[in-house]
Structure 1
Amino acid sequence: MNSDCENMKDQIADLLTGNLSESQMRKLEQHLNECAACRDYASALKNEDMLLTEFFAGMDLNTASRQERLLQVIAPSCMSRQTYALSIRRTIMKSPITKIAVAAVIIIAVTLSIQLWNKSTSAAYAFEQTVEAMQGKRSFHIQTYFQQRRKDEFWAEFDEEGKLVRFRQEEGEGPKRILLTTWEDGVKSQYYPPPWGVKLMTRVDNSGGGLENLEGFDPETIVQEVHELVSEGKAVMEIQAPPRYARLMTIHVKRIDGKPLRQVLVVNPDTKLVVRVDDYWDTEDEEKVFHHGIEVLEYNETIDPRLFDPNLPEDTLIMDQVTQEVGMAQGDMSNEEVAVKIIREALDAWAKGDFAKAGKLCGGAPRRMLAEAYSHVRPVRIISIGEPEKIDFGTPRFWVPCQYEIKRDGQLEITNQKLAALTVNGSPGRWYVSIWHTR
């Protein structure tokens, strides 16, 4: 490690304790992408953090007197309990010696009231036990990670045959920036927070599976795939017993069939369930590794049904493509032809104040959306509509450049917009116009 790396050590510890600003996180993320040594340090620190967390969680510290004595041993100052916890955890994460010392203090403090975890667990453990324990999933709650940073959070429920019944997905950072997706009974609802404030309801079939790539995050599927790879001789597995102060066990899996994949699985030997999976894909650049991980927060636990029917702000704009026919039939037109035609007709109807027709062509946009929320980009006169630009996506969709007049502050002015023309989910052969990203 160089001097920059030394300076990053504290920030890596602060990342795990949630004490970095967004700018610091972006700087640290860039450094981790470029520095293999710091990535290894962050990975080791993260595993130690998880082990210590599990250790603390497993102790009997319920009585106030025992907690008070423990706090007095570790940090005899006048801070509040909450400040103690944050200060102690940051100190622990930054020093391996402190980690051992704190663990030792706690062990001594509670020896008379707890029993250490069964030392024979890891010796008797076999990965097949985890394969069996993970079978028969009925629900899971997971947090995904990309390049060591939090990404999406999922809740999902399944029937007795393992088929998806409903799910919830949260993307983004902060409660006001989260894209919220739910799916149940073939209806997918997506809430786009302000500045859009739109809820889009579409018909999405999942009879063949694959919805939102949930299989890629499914702990049961991941465990089964690892077991099959090892059984077929395509990967090797090394099981590491947990340290004395923790009850989690680490399993390293490495592909030996030419695939540049390394996996680290963390298992609770008491329940045999996987609690964390990290995938590391090596690249030709030895300094860059692609990381994807999941943390299993709950498995086969009851999920509050209200999570799948979220309360949205009262002023949310509802675009319903489920209970009404929207868009335009493509007929014998090419994709490019229908993209240009539907945008021209949508703009024309909008300009004339025919909000019913414009709303239908705009995917079920309500009158309030066209007449009020997006009135600042309502056309007065169409000047030109350019050639469609294909968007690289799973279903056909195009950006179509448009130039038209609008009225702003009582004055006419020319605006240049890119409107999206795309197919309607669950309605083959029908297209609609998306105006959300107009400005």
Structure 2
Amino acid sequence: MSDDLLRELAPQVLAAVTRRYGHFDEAEDATQEALLAATTQWPAEGVPDNPRGWLIRVASRRLIDHLRSEQSRLRREATLAAQVPPADWLAPAADTGEASDDTLTLFFLCCHPALTTASQIALTLRAVGGLTTVEIAHALLVPEATLAQRISRAKQRIRDTGARFEPPTRHDYDGRLRAVLHVLYLIFNEGHTATSGVALQRTDLATEAIRLARTVHRTRPDDAEVAGLLALLLLTDARRAARTGPAGELVPLAEQDRGRWDRRTIHEGVTLLAAALAHRRPGPYQIQAAIAAAHSQAARAEDTDWPHILNLYDMLQRFDDNPVVTLNRAVAAAMVHGPRAGLTLLEALDSDPRMTGNHRLAAVRAHLLHQAGDHEAAVAHYQAAARQTASIPEREYLLRQARLAAR
């Protein structure tokens, strides 16, 4: 049995059960119980011919059992009569309908305007992206306990609003699009570089983020930032095959075999970006896509137009004053003006609570110190970064760099 299959099916099952019965929070609990049942039964009995339908049926039964246990017979019957209409009066059966449509509808439900942006992102990463609480906490740079409370409050808020599982209207798109794009960005990032585990990349998440981004782009083809995000995801994902070596080890951008980059995907991304920029409404996703395009169009690492990339990061910093932007800008500044210029920019992040314990700050500082010739300090920061990351490929790479710096 493949864990990837369950991860792929989880949002589809949750969406189908929520569409049929309502009760988003209880539907999520029932879906998790169905997934647990699958992990215990399928290895022994085999994966059913229709695994999605099997999970939906089990989750539906668990949800109905829960509702029955919570209410008296009279109230239960009245509630179920209202929420489970017979003969498909108000909704199709839970195991019918297009999974892609259900997933997008679930996406917009999680981005309900009654929720804060932070809660929208956290809930969608959990329900649609299938990420764990730990993974989401790493992605959002918040403590795990804070993240767990945020998700719990978000589910309760969805329940309190009485929100229905319905396809998004034009008004929904206008009000929730920014949160949807941010969530897609974060889901892709977790797939591109997993925050924990033995694999550097989680192709299922990256692929799902791209698929959903295409869906949103089809509904809003003239939105420059939607196109910019899709272009960014494609241009970044085009490097996937070259990012790991034969044993799954991390290969940094400067050392990648660019012949393994997917040129067809790069062409699609560049074409999308050009169309987005033609609207003359620049935004952070378009700028990031332009940075990715600059990397993708360099035949060799030494051909990279770093002054242009630094200018783009300067522009991005004005749009999005984010510590990760500062981190990447420091690398670009070092490539243009030397490692000490980059190290100076990093100093501003030392007091930023969002970067506390973040291994990337220590890793970038180690890299720049190594370039500057301060090998002893570089070793210390590489080792600190290795201790801070939960990703095994990143940890092994950082320890290799520490050994190189120590020579």
Query: Shorter-normalised TM-score: what interval?
Result: under 0.3
More strand by share: 1
**Higher radius of gyration, 1 or 2:** 1
